[in-house]
Amino acid sequence: MPPTREGKPPVVSRPSVSIEEFTVSGPEAGPYGIAAGPDSALWFTLVHHGRIGRVTPDGAVGSYPLEEASGGPSTITAGPDGALWFTEFRGHRVGRITTAGDVTSYALPTPDAGPFGIAAGPDDALWFTEAGAGRVGRITTDGRITEFPLPAPGAFPSGIAPGPDGRLWFTMNQANAIGSVGLDGSVVVHPLPTPGAAPVGITAGADGALWFVEIGAGRIGRITPDGTLDEFALPDPESRPHAITAAGDGACWFTEWGANRIGRITPDGHIEEHPLPTPSSEPHGIAQGPDGAIWTALENGAVARLTTG
C-alpha cells in the first residue's frame, strides 16, 4: 500500500465568475470530450453522432463526420504533429483529425478494446487506455500500435496523462487504483485508500503531482510520482466528478457531472464550485482554452466558457 496522507477539509467559496454557453449541437449528439487545438480553437467529440466539433472563442461552430456514426468518439487531445487525436470507444479505433478536418482512423488489434482516455506522451506518440481490454496502448503519429497488458483483470483503465517522471499515469476505474506505465511498458499500480472511489479523469498538476477525480466517492485525489496520496472530499459526495484539467494559474479545474457544476482546487486543497446556468447540462470533458478560459463540454448540446473576474 502506498503512503497516504489525509487531505485537509476543503474551504468552499464562490468568487466572481462569468459563464457563457454556446450551442454546438442538438441534445442528442452528446458533446463529451474537449481539448485546445493548435489553431486557437477548442475541439470536442460528439459521442452519439460520430462527429468531431470545433468552436472558436467567439462562438463560431463547425463539425466533421467520422467514417462511422456509431463509433462513440470519447476523449480528444492535441497531438505532437499539429493534429487532434481521439478515441472511439464503441468503434475500437483511435482517430486523427487535422485542423482542416481531414480524418484518419486506426483500428486496434485487440477486439472490443474500448479505447477511452488519450494523451500525448514524452516520446512524441499518443498513449491511450483500453477500458474493455484492460490494456494501455501506444500509437505513433504514422499509425503503429503497441499494447501493454495491465496486471489487474477488469481494471477498466480510463483517463491518462503524462507525468513529470517520464511515465504515463492512468486511472483504473474498476480496480480502484492509479497506475503508471513506463515507455518500456512496465506498469506500477497504486491502490486507493477509499473503497469505491472509481477514479476517471486525471491530469498533471503544476505542483509536480497527478490530480484525479473519484466519481464514486465524490473526491479529488492527488498522487506524487513516489506514490504519496492525498484525497480531498467535495462538499457534495454525490456530485460525481468526471474530468479534470490543469490550468495556468496552478490550480486544477474539474467537472461535477452529477451536480451540474464546475469546480476548482488549488494545490493545498482549497475548493471553489460554480453552478452552470442551464439545469441538467451534464458537464463532461474540460480544458483550458487558448484564451485562458476554462471550457467544458455539456452533453445537453453545448459547451460552456468560464472566465474569472
In whole angstroms, what is the distance from residue 150 CA to residue 179 CA? 9
The response to whether 231 counts as a known ligand-binding position is no
- Which residues, in sequence order, are CB contacts of 91 under 8 Å at separation 6+? 66, 68, 70, 71, 72, 105
211-238 core/surface letters (b: 16 or more CB in 10 A; e: else): bbbbbbbbbbbbbbbebebbbbbbeeee
In whole angstroms, what is the distance from residue 53 CA to residue 27 CA? 14
The response to whether 48 counts as a known ligand-binding position is no
In whole angstroms, what is the distance from residue 256 CA to residue 234 CA? 10
C-beta pairs of 79-86 under 8 Å, 24+ apart in sequence: 79/120, 79/126, 79/141, 80/120, 80/124, 80/125, 80/141, 81/141, 82/38, 83/141, 84/35, 84/37, 84/43, 84/52, 85/118, 85/120, 85/126, 85/139, 86/33, 86/45, 86/52, 86/118
CA-based nearest residue to 71, from 84, 61, 86: 86
Q: Which residue has the cell 461552430?
A: 61
DSSP-derived 3-state class of residue 307: strand
Give the DSSP letter string of 163-176: -TTSSEEEEETTTT
Cell reading at 308: 474569472
**Cβ atoms of 141 and 124 closer than 8 Å:** yes
The response to whether 20 counts as a known ligand-binding position is no
Q: Which residue has the cell 464503441?
A: 90
Asked if 284 is an active-site residue, the reply is: yes
Longest dimension (CA), the chain: 49
Catalytic residue among 49, 92, 274, 284: 284
Rg of the chain in Å (alpha carbons): 18
Catalytic sites, residue numbers: 284
Binding residues for substrate: 242
Binding residues for Mg(2+): 282, 299
Binding residues: 242, 282, 299
